[in-house]
Amino acid sequence: MDVAVRIIEVFHSVQGEGPLTGVRTTFVRTARCNLRCSWCDTTYSFGPGRERSIDSILRSIARNRTRHVCLTGGEPLLQAESLELVRRLSDRGITTVIETGGSLDVAPYVGIPKVRLSVDVKCPSSRMQAHNRWSNLPRLGPDDVIKFVIQDRRDYAYAKRTLRKYHGPATVVLQPVWGTDAGRLADWVLADRLDVRVMLQEHKVLWGDVPGR
């Protein structure tokens, strides 16, 4: 029997976040999340979703003819079956970005060919900073991303303190909470001369804050 993953949605769009922004991508949004960030924009993913076989998911990806997949949530690492999906995508030569909230161990996914990890570090405004799994950060390589979602100056200061201790090769992204002043965040980064990338959520710029885009 084929392995199944609990899914909220599978959709075809462009990547809206991180270094692959703008790349045509199939998104696989898994069900359930162990965190409750105050500014979460995908609360509809908290439910149980529905089971879909990995074969079925792979067929959807093949119909979209994308060479990139984004495995997101919810929290995809909550489901052990996600590892099988990622391995099968890798076997097909598909690049998979895994977006994780940063509270669960990424070690099983490290070293799988064509997998890129995007790991959140939760800042104070999320109210989830106590769940950061710091042991994840040293595991990340040059194709991976550390992402801070910034709502205010306190979050920015928290990110700066964290980055003083991080000297690894991963790309660091500071992303403003949607609806806050992105220019203000960019000004802070410029004033402090931080070697980070300030990035918006391009899918929201294109279509607004709507599910499945």
The residue among 212 and 56 whose pLDDT is bigger is 56
Helix (H) or strand (E) holding 112: none
**Kind of pairing between the strands at 24-30 and 4-14:** antiparallel
Taking residues 38-51, what's their average pLDDT?
96
Task: Note every long-range contact of 180-188, with CB atoms under 8 Å and residues 24 or more positions apart, other chains counting.
Answer: 180/150, 180/151, 180/152, 185/150, 185/156, 188/153, 188/156
Residue 180: how many other CB atoms lie within 10 Å:
16
| Sequence-distant contacts of 109-117: CB under 8 A, at least 24 apart | 109/77, 109/83, 110/139, 110/141, 112/86, 112/87, 114/89, 114/90, 115/86, 115/90, 116/20, 116/143, 116/144, 116/145, 117/144, 117/145
Q: What is the rounded CA–CA span in Å between residue 125 and residue 149?
A: 9
Q: Is the pLDDT of residue 213 over 90?
A: no
Structural domains of the chain sorted by starting position, each given as residue range(s) with its CATH number in brackets: 4-207 (3.20.20.70)
**Of all helices (H) and strands (E), which one includes residue 165?**
helix 153-165
Asked if 8 and 30 count as a contact pair (C-beta separation under 8 A), the reply is: yes
Residue type (1 letter), 98: I
Predicted model pTM: 0.96
pLDDT of residue 69: 98
Cα–Cα distance, 38 to 87 (Å, whole number)? 32
Q: Is the dihedral of CA 169, 132, 13, 87 positive or negative?
A: positive
Span 61-90, pLDDT tens digits: 999 999 999 999 999 999 999 999 999 999
Indicate whether 1 pLDDT > 70.
Answer: no
Average pLDDT, the chain: 97
If pLDDT is split at 50, 70 and 90, which confidence band does 49 have?
very high
pLDDT at 210 over 90: no
On the CB side of 83, how many CA atoms lie within 13 Å of its CA? 11
C-alpha distances out from residue 93 to 26, 90, 200, Å: 14, 5, 28
Burial of 67-89, coded b for 16+ CB within 10 Å and e otherwise, reads ebbbbbbbbbbbbebbeebbbbb
Strands 50-53 and 24-30, sheet pairing = unpaired
